[in-house]
A and B are shown apart, each in its own frame.
Chain A
């Protein structure tokens, strides 16, 4: 989401005063004052609860792609990380993400005040252009999305306590710092003209880098790779659930990208939101079709889990610039996105990087692709985009690496081999997802 709205509303008001003739002309197409405030706020709220629902999508996708013995653990991780993200984004996250950098600062790190104050009952500051609580809510659910990405990659072999501690640091500090560089008006925005409409890099690559570093430090699931480099397949427990999860994510993405327009008070904005919906949908559709064709050609069988990954990779790819592309552009951007998991899932396996749900190809690789292709259709330079990708890589990898190593050295990341073999549901949670014959009376 562009940062203009945060500072843009007063600027727009100033512009209106400076050129009254222009303001009158536009009046027919734009609502002002309270009505614009209401519409903008509605956009945030609708977008916000759609993105909130993506947490359910991630939970179902991951529950379907892990083995039966780890399903409860995956469900707990998902509802836990969503909640931690909300708390941390209130305690400190939002103020790091939107520190209000002053002109002289480089815009790399700042903290804007103490705990986020929200608003009083019945209060509305028309100058901001929207309810600050709706803005906070919308930003918070993006933060939670970042954490969801990590959960899927590291499934089936991480203890819940170190995972939740990592999520606390990721959502409270690591992710908000990245956001501050761009949407917070910091370094990437002011110096490099970096462009990331709804977060291919800021949200998805950030989650992807944290997941990749986590997977490297954590190691693969027991028995996943043979000594000869062979891959032992652990099929997912429930393909319908994974499919439902993907559809939920797809639905949520209309809020993710559409509401990142951040304004709905003019006919132009509403039209743009609509165009974003179309482009978002078409990129995902292209991703699915390309993944189906690619797996059919390569393996002689269309792989449903790759088709699911293809939808998400197409969505991630279009997220960096869902507005400027034509539908044709969106299909190409999303279609190439959908090809990336088909290529990168086997490559990660060759490198013995165990990514249970394919989150690294989907969110990291397709996120980088989507970010670098923005200059094709949007207002950005390739170098500026590259700087954004690289800076995010360095910061998130180093910061995540430090946190993962500290957790590994202190409490350990992995359960015992016996616990992992028997399933984390029994050892970490004590509740099996599908308890079978136990206590059926």
Chain B
């Protein structure tokens, strides 16, 4: 099993969710996050004083998938979330040791 963490632009969320649903991804966790990468921040003005916003808002997806599904999921996220401009985000893939469904106690692949 693999654990996929994807940081994407917030407005791309719906598109990515739909594309992954079509692939058979059964669930995901979504959070609003802030951070920076190569895009850095931006300068804003509030009441006559400039300030820099170093952290930009992004959306983080956390998805647990089977080993077979992983490459397809990564490819789908990359293609749907891309705007081909700086700040599109990143996708990380980690090995996942175990999964347990709380309601039934099912584990691993059956719990995905």
Contact = CB atoms under 8 A, between A and B. Distances in A.
B49 A231 contact: yes
A301 B48 CA distance: 10
Contacts of B51: 232-233, 235
A417 B54 CA distance: 26
A346 interface: yes
B49 A303 contact: no
Contacts of B49: 231, 233, 346, 349
A368 interface: no
A358 interface: yes
Contact of B45 (A232, A299, A349, A358): A299
Interface string B46-70: 1111110000000000000000000
Nearest to A301: B45
> For the side of the interface on B, what is the size category?
under 10
Contact of B48 (A232, A235, A349): A349
Interface string A347-364: 001000000001000000
Interface centre among B49, B50, B51 (most CB of A within 10 A): B49
Interface centre among B47, B48, B50 (most CB of A within 10 A): B47
Interface of A: 231-233, 235, 299-301, 303, 305-306, 342, 345-346, 349, 358
Given A299-B45, A303-B47, A349-B49, 11 more contacts: A233-B50, A235-B46, A301-B45, A303-B45, A303-B46, A305-B47, A306-B47, A345-B47, A346-B48, A349-B48, A358-B47
Contacts of A342: 48
16 contacts: A231-B49, A232-B51, A233-B46, A233-B47, A233-B49, A233-B50, A235-B46, A235-B51, A300-B45, A303-B47, A303-B48, A305-B46, A345-B48, A346-B49, A349-B48, A349-B49
Contacts of A233: 46-47, 49-51
A341 B91 CA distance: 47
Contacts of A345: 47-48
Interface of B: 45-51
Contacts of A303: 45-48
Nearest to A236: B46
Contacts of A306: 47-48
A233 B45 CA distance: 9
Contacts of A346: 48-49
Contacts of A235: 46, 51
Nearest to B50: A233
Contacts of A232: 51
Which 7 residue pairs of A and B lie closest in terms of their CB atoms, listed nearest first?
A: A233-B51, A231-B49, A346-B48, A233-B46, A299-B45, A233-B49, A345-B48
Nearest to B46: A233
B12 to A, nearest CB: 25
A221 to B, nearest CB: 13
A349 B45 CA distance: 14
Contacts of B50: 233
Contacts of A305: 46-47
Nearest to A233: B51
B47 to A, nearest CB: 5
Nearest to A356: B47
A299 B43 CA distance: 12
Contacts of B46: 233, 235, 303, 305
A243 to B, nearest CB: 15
B32 to A, nearest CB: 13
Interface centre among A233, A301, A303, A358 (most CB of B within 10 A): A233
A261 B101 CA distance: 72
B37 to A, nearest CB: 23
A305 B46 CA distance: 8
B99 to A, nearest CB: 25
A345 B48 CA distance: 7
Nearest to A302: B45
A349 to B, nearest CB: 6
B73 to A, nearest CB: 30
A323 to B, nearest CB: 33
Nearest to A344: B48
Nearest to B51: A233
A306 B49 CA distance: 12
B44 to A, nearest CB: 8
B1 to A, nearest CB: 29
Contacts of B48: 299, 303, 306, 342, 345-346, 349
